[in-house]
Amino acid sequence: MWQNRRTRQADWQQHPWPEQPNPAPQARKVLVIVDIEQVRPLMNKTHDDSMATTTCEVLPCLTRVEERALFTYNVLLNTHRLETFTVYNLLHCISQHIWYTWDRFLAPASMDIRWQDDTGDTFALCNEEYLVTYLNTYRPHWTEGQEHSEIFSQNIQYFTSHIQPYIMRVSCHEALPNRNMLP
């Protein structure tokens, strides 16, 4: 039961505590930036052009940067939320943003999200798919670095900090009857 102190010290020197394994890598946060300027034709069809009331043409004191901010929706998705966040969830958030900003309702199903693949081709995202599925498929490096541009996605600037989010730039448009046939 009782051991000699020397034996315990010798044991410690011969068999130190095993090293702790490195923590499992966490997926990176994703900042989704959505250009909603292309929803204006749908707004004109459904309601009126209420979006026009918040442009620089109508409001001379509004700067271009402020106007751009009004026509942009963004959301920072944490790792745990990203795994369950679908394209439809994003469309629902955009619909709420339009409701809160212009007091007009556009149904999430009346819009679609478009993105560019690594060759620069634009395609519509399927509402039922998870955003992380598209990231893993079309930007497999998204946890390691950010491409410099949508056109030259092979040119990657690697992240220098674990808190830097990956930026996913997409646009929102009127939904097409056939998502495989973009104009």
**Residues 89-123: tens digit of each pLDDT:** 999 999 999 999 988 899 999 999 999 887 788 89
How is domain 27-174 classified at the CATH fold level?
Answer: Ubiquitin-like (UB roll) (3.10.20)
Query: Could you tell me whether strands 72-77 and 111-116 are parallel, antiparallel, or unpaired per DSSP bridges?
Result: unpaired
Euclidean distance between CA atoms 95 and 105, whole angstroms? 7
Q: What is the mean pLDDT of residues 66-81?
A: 92
Tokens in use for 181?
């046939």
Calpha distance 24→41 (Å, rounded)? 46
Percent of the chain with pLDDT over 90: 48
Predicted confidence (pLDDT) at residue 23 exceeds the cutoff of 50: no
C-alpha to C-alpha distance for 115 and 87, rounded to whole angstroms: 11
Q: CA 4, CA 167: separation in Å to the nearest integer?
A: 60
Amino acid at 77: L
What per-residue confidence (pLDDT) applies to 55? 81
Q: How do residues 141-177 score in pLDDT, each as one tens digit?
A: 999 999 876 555 568 899 999 899 999 999 999 998 8
Q: Which residues contact 43 (CB under 8 A, 6 or more apart)?
A: 49, 50, 51, 98, 102, 104, 106
